[in-house]
Amino acid sequence: MRIIICIICILSLSPLSSKAQFEQFQDSVVQLYGVVMTADSLIGLPGVSIMVKGQNRGTLTSDKGVFSIVVMKGDQVEFSYVGYKNKTVDIPKNLEGNQYSVIQLMVNDTVYLPATILKPRVTRQQFERDFVNTRIPDDDITIARQNNNEATRRALMASLPQDGREASQQFFRQQSRKMQYTGQLPPQNIFNPFAWAEFVKAWKRGDFKRKN
């Protein structure tokens, strides 16, 4: 009997507790609205980013600089715009009511670049000398021709590692040669005149030189 009375008391108090929590939450919600303008000319800034700190939500000002966003009491709202200093507005925790209006003025953010000194040419002869001796970088066609040179391709083949496709093709070629001479001895190239000719050409090219 006592258990039933306790359950009835809890069920009777639950709506009151939920209603109190809802009223407390409703009282902490604030409608923040206003306008963002430049501090020097009082012109509305469009596209100003307005973000609630610590939360992934915000809004942008309209083409006239007007904005409106729902926040909570005690939140910090940051205004940011390219070329202007960031501003932060604190929503009072003891705010009376559920509306808060601001007129936010944005101040120009001055960025100082390193000094650049421009000096004229001393004489026309010096300008002509520097212009003639200036090295023009190679274009794409010249670089492609240099990379397609036989000596360059041979050096790249000797220094660069094989990629996956080349390694797999070499493996399949080795397997194919093994299967071709299965059950018999493979031929020896020591008596092959064509192999000796290739060996002499490679020796002359310097393929067997030690690479530092």
CATH number at residue 61: 2.60.40.1120
Domain that holds residue 84: 28-106
Please tell me whether residues 102 and 157 are part of one structural domain.
no
Q: Is the pLDDT of residue 200 over 90?
A: no
CB 53 within 8 A of CB 59: no
Residue 194 lies in a domain: no
Structural contact between residues 109 and 83, judged by C-beta atoms closer than 8 angstroms: yes
Least trusted range by pLDDT, from 51-55, 78-82, 126-130: 126-130
Residue 40 DSSP label: T
Element (H, E) at 77: strand 76-81
With beta carbons less than 8 A apart as the criterion, state whether 49 and 58 touch: yes
Number of separate domains in the chain: 2
Q: Is residue 205 part of a domain?
A: no
Q: Beta strand pairing status for 99-106 and 76-81?
A: unpaired
39 found inside a domain? yes
Residue 71 maps to a domain: yes
- Region 6-15: mean pLDDT is 52
- pLDDT of 79 over the 80 cut: yes
Is position 87 within any domain? yes
Q: What is the mean predicted confidence (pLDDT) over 35-60?
A: 91
Sheet holding 84-90, edge to edge: 58-60, 49-52, 76-81, 84-90
Residue 175 lies in a domain: yes
Residue type, 16: L
Task: Indicate whether 33 and 88 sit together in one domain.
Answer: yes
Alpha carbon distance, N-terminus to C-terminus of the chain: 96
- In this structure, the answer to whether residues 93 and 157 fall within a common structural domain is no
Q: Order of strands, edge to edge, in the sheet holding 99-106?
A: 66-72, 29-38, 99-106
The answer to whether the beta carbons of residues 29 and 69 sit under 8 Å apart is no
Whether 137 maps to a domain, the answer reads: no
Highest mean pLDDT among 31-40, 141-150, 177-186: 31-40
Average pLDDT over residues 103-127: 84
Judged against a pLDDT cut of 70, whether residue 165 lies above it is answered with yes
Report strand pairing: 29-38 vs 99-106: parallel
Q: Is residue 158 part of a domain?
A: yes
Query: Is residue 106 a contact partner of residue 48, using CB atoms and an 8 Å limit?
Result: yes
